[in-house]
C-alpha cells in the first residue's frame, strides 16, 4: 500500500506513522528525518538543508524531490511505503505522481490529520526528544521520566517563532494538496485531536487496516 500522511507540523504524523508500520509492513519515509540525518552526518545535502530547516522554511523542491525519488526507487519500496512530510507543495505532489505513473503504480490513500493551530503551537513548543533512544516526549502531555528528563533536547525548529513560520507555510503551500488529492477520491480526513491511541484507532479504521 502506498500511503501519504499530510498535516501541519506537530499533527502527529511521525508518531502515528511509527504505530502503523507494523500493519502496513512498508518502509516509513520521513523527509524531515532524512534531512536531520544528513545534517547530523554533515553531508553537502545536510549543510544545504540546515540553512532552511533552522528557520522553519521549506528545503527547495528540487532538492527534496530528488531525495524522495531516489528513496522510493529502492527495492524495499517496491511493495509500498508510508510517506510522512512529503509532498509538502503542489510541485512535489506533481513530481511524485509523475514518478509513480512512470512505474505504473499510484498512491492508494492520503490521510490528512486535522489539528487546530492553537493546539499545534502547544504541542510543538513542548516537544522534546531523547537523543539516546529517539523517543519523543511532551513536557505537559507526555513528560519524560526523571532519568531521561535531564537529557531531552528541543528541535531547533520547535521554537514558537519557527513553529509559526512552519504553520503559515503549511496553510499557504501544503493545505492546497487537500484539493489536489481530494478530486481523486483517495483523500481521507482524520481528526488528529485526542490521545495517540484514539488517533491511531481512527487511522486504522479510515485506512481499512
Helix, strand, coil abundance in the chain, percent, nearest 5:
55, 15, 35
Cell numbers placing 58: 521549506
Question: In angstroms, what is the minimal distance from the CB of 166 to ligand AMP?
Answer: 5
Nearest Cα neighbor of 109 from 169, 41, 186 is 186
- 8 Å CB contact between 165 and 56: yes
- What is d(CA 114, CA 96) in angstroms, rounded to the nearest whole number? 23
The two beta strands, 136-138 and 127-129, are: antiparallel
Q: Which stretch binds ligand AMP (CB under 6 A): 38-46, 51-59, 126-134, 181-189?
A: 51-59
Q: Name which position in 4, 45, 59, 190 contacts ligand AMP (CB under 6 A).
A: 59
Question: In angstroms, what is the minimal distance from the CB of 161 to ligand AMP?
Answer: 13
128 is catalytic: no
* Binding of residue 157 to ligand AMP (CB under 6 A): yes
Helix axes 13-24 and 196-207, enclosed angle (nearest 10): 50
- What is d(CA 122, CA 131) in angstroms, rounded to the nearest whole number? 21
Q: Name which position in 52, 100, 105, 206 contacts ligand AMP (CB under 6 A).
A: 52
Q: Which stretch binds ligand AMP (CB under 6 A): 15-23, 84-92, 100-108, 146-154?
A: 84-92
Cell numbers placing 39: 545534517
* Binding of residue 67 to ligand AMP (CB under 6 A): no
Interface with ligand AMP in residues 161-200 (CB under 6 A): 166
Q: Which residue is nearest to ligand AMP (CB)?
A: 32
- Residues contacting ligand AMP: total by CB under 6 A: 17
Q: Name which position in 8, 12, 85, 144 contacts ligand AMP (CB under 6 A).
A: 85
Nearest Cα neighbor of 97 from 27, 4, 13 is 4
* Binding of residue 88 to ligand AMP (CB under 6 A): yes
Q: Which residues are identified as catalytic?
A: 13, 88, 127, 155, 166
Amino acid at each position: 500500500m502506498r500511503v501519504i500522511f499530510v498535516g501541519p507540523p506537530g499533527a502527529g504524523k511521525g508518531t502515528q506513522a511509527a504505530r502503523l508500520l507494523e500493519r502496513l509492513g512498508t518502509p516509513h519515509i520521513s523527509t524531515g528525518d532524512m534531512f536531520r540525518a544528513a545534517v547530523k552526518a554533515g553531508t553537502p545535502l545536510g549543510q544545504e538543508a540546515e540553512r532552511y530547516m533552522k528557520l522553519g522554511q521549506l528545503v527547495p523542491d528540487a532538492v527534496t524531490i530528488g531525495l524522495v525519488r531516489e528513496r522510493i526507487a529502492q527495492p524495499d519500496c517496491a511493495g509500498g511505503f508510508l510517506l510522512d512530510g512529503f509532498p509538502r507543495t503542489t510541485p512535489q505532489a506533481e513530481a511524485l505522481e509523475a514518478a509513480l505513473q512512470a512505474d505504473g503504480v499510484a498512491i492508494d490513500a492520503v490521510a490528512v490529520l486535522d489539528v487546530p493551530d492553537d493546539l499545534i503551537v502547544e504541542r510543538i513548543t513542548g516537544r522534546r526528544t531523547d537523543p539516546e533512544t529517539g523517543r519523543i516526549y511532551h513536557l505537559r502531555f507526555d513528560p519524560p521520566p526523571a532519568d531521561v528528563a535531564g537529557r531531552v533536547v528541543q528541535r531547533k525548529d520547535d521554537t514558537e517563532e519557527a513553529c509559526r513560520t512552519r504553520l503559515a507555510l503549511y496553510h499557504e503551500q501544503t493545505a492546497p494538496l487537500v484539493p489536489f488529492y481530494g478530486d481523486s477520491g483517495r483523500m481521507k480526513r482524520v481528526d488528529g485531536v485526542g490521545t495517540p491511541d484514539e488517533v491511531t484507532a481512527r487511522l486504522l479504521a479510515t485506512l481499512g487496516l
